[in-house]
Amino acid sequence: MKRETLILLFATTLIAGGAQGDTAPSAESWRWTLPEFMPPPRVPADNGMSEARFQLGRKLFYDPRLSGNGKESCASCHEQRLAFTDGRPVAVGATGQHTPRNSPSIANAAWRATLTWANPAMVTLERQMEGPLFGEEPIEMGVNDKNRKEILARFDSDADYRRDFAAAFPGEADPISFGNVIKAISAFERGVVSASSKYDLYLEGKATLSPEETRGKDLFFGEKAECHHCHGSVNFDDQFYHAKTREIETPFHNTGLYDLDGKGAYPEPNRGVFENTHNPAEMGAFRAPSLRNIAVTAPYMHDGSAATLEDVIDIYAAGGRNVASGPLKGDGRYNPNKSALIVPIDLSPQEKSDLIAFLKTLTDNSLLTSPRFADPWKPASTASGSTRAPVQ
């Protein structure tokens, strides 16, 4: 059965209307507008979707007042033009500290079974957000016990925010809280959907792939390149789940990027699932990221150590990476924990070019430019700083 046919089997509902199980009534409706092959995501019962909540989350996402020193917003590491990544090998927090890992895209995060690179327990956007908000090592947003009240006071002193929080969380006597900040931003992230790439349009019969793109597609979904084993879902990953998923699979993979000691060691603090479980067999195991918009999300890998798509394909074609010199020296191709799926692939230069041509069809230009996902504080050309009125 062809890949396209398999994808279409996911189709269940074009549009799911209304918030799902929300404890707070919403005055506004919410509709998932999705292609046939993309089922609606699962939404937590205690954080139902509403337009008011989505728009509040959008404002907070782009507002540096949410950080301890007022210098960092969520968007600092998740830029729309880069499919909500940041173009850097690893992210940089409000105080200048570097995080150990590459910023993942938030697009289609609603369909991800786990939310970080290597934590099987991180299964909701709401829980994940506590890390960048409150984390101390490294500091990202820099929210702590000393500045929490001050940060909330920034929003409480803004009449527009008081109105927006009340609309997003109706019936609550004191809606401006970190709990609701997290819920609103999660609702925004859940609503950032990417499903209008050239390949999506091709699946809907609205676009035609070039011969090079078609050859790349056939390689991607075929048994020679075998990319589909880890990137074969609707979201081009292998942790895809949705509202009707019964059994959630959360595989993690060691792709043979490092082998510091000949026994499989990865560099600290980037040792994959091992960092949480201390299970030696999970050394170097990371979540396979979605490949949607992959052409605009360089650099690649969990640590941003592969600069280009060409570099990534060369690594996989070689069955892993041999670091010939330096502190990370070691031949990852022979890492004892490497996934059995990562084996040498005899790809010609033309086949590598075809694969990249196909991967570029996964770019959703509407995601990169849609006003619905854009910075609401930015468009007013005369405005600067956090006092600007958002564009509605």
User: Does the annotation list 74 as a binding residue?
Assistant: yes
Q: Residue 198 above 90 pLDDT?
A: yes
Among 25-29, 125-129, 248-252, the minimum mean pLDDT is found in 25-29
State the pLDDT at residue 152.
Answer: 97
User: Does the annotation list 242 as a binding residue?
Assistant: no
Average pLDDT, integer, range 11-16: 31
Which residues 6+ apart lie within 8 Å of 304 measured at CB? 88, 89, 90, 101, 102
Residues 111 and 151 in one domain: yes
Q: What percent of the chain has pLDDT over 70?
A: 89
- Type of residue found at 80: Q
pLDDT tens for residues 71-94? 999 999 999 999 999 999 999 999
**pTM listed for this prediction:** 0.88
Residues 133 and 154 in one domain: yes
Q: Examine residue 176 and state whether it is found in any structural domain, yes or no.
A: yes
- Cα 299 to the chain's mean position, in Å? 14
Q: Examine residue 173 and state whether it is found in any structural domain, yes or no.
A: yes
Q: Examine residue 284 and state whether it is found in any structural domain, yes or no.
A: yes
Residues 210 and 177 in one domain: no
User: Does the annotation list 230 as a binding residue?
Assistant: yes
Beta bridge partners of 218: none
User: Does the annotation list 78 as a binding residue?
Assistant: yes
Residues 166 and 182 in one domain: yes
- Residue 150: which CATH number? 1.10.760.10
State the pLDDT at residue 284.
Answer: 97
**Tokens at 210, concatenated:** 């070039």
Host domain of residue 361: 198-365
Distance CA(342)–CA(359), nearest Å, equals 19
Q: Examine residue 223 and state whether it is found in any structural domain, yes or no.
A: yes
Q: Examine residue 374 and state whether it is found in any structural domain, yes or no.
A: no
Residues 96 and 225 in one domain: no
Give yes or no for a contact between 288 and 342, defined as CB atoms under 8 angstroms apart. no
Q: Examine residue 129 and state whether it is found in any structural domain, yes or no.
A: yes
Residues 216 and 154 in one domain: no
Q: Examine residue 383 and state whether it is found in any structural domain, yes or no.
A: no
Residues 303 and 178 in one domain: no
Q: Examine residue 43 and state whether it is found in any structural domain, yes or no.
A: no
Total structural domains within the chain = 2
Residues 170 and 245 in one domain: no
Residues 184 and 171 in one domain: yes
State the pLDDT at residue 24.
Answer: 53
pLDDT tens for residues 27-49? 457 889 899 999 999 999 999 99
Last residue of a domain, one of 138, 173, 193: 193
The alpha-carbon radius of gyration of the chain (Å, integer) is 21
Which residues 6+ apart lie within 8 Å of 317 measured at CB? 344, 345, 346, 347, 352
| Phi, psi at 238, each rounded to 5° | -130, 25
Residues 213 and 335 in one domain: yes
Residues 143 and 59 in one domain: yes
Residues 272 and 322 in one domain: yes
Q: What single string gives the DSSP state of each residue in 2-54?
A: -HHHHHHTT---S--BS-SS-SS--SS--B----TT-PPPP--TTS---HHHH
User: Does the annotation list 98 as a binding residue?
Assistant: no
User: Does the annotation list 228 as a binding residue?
Assistant: no
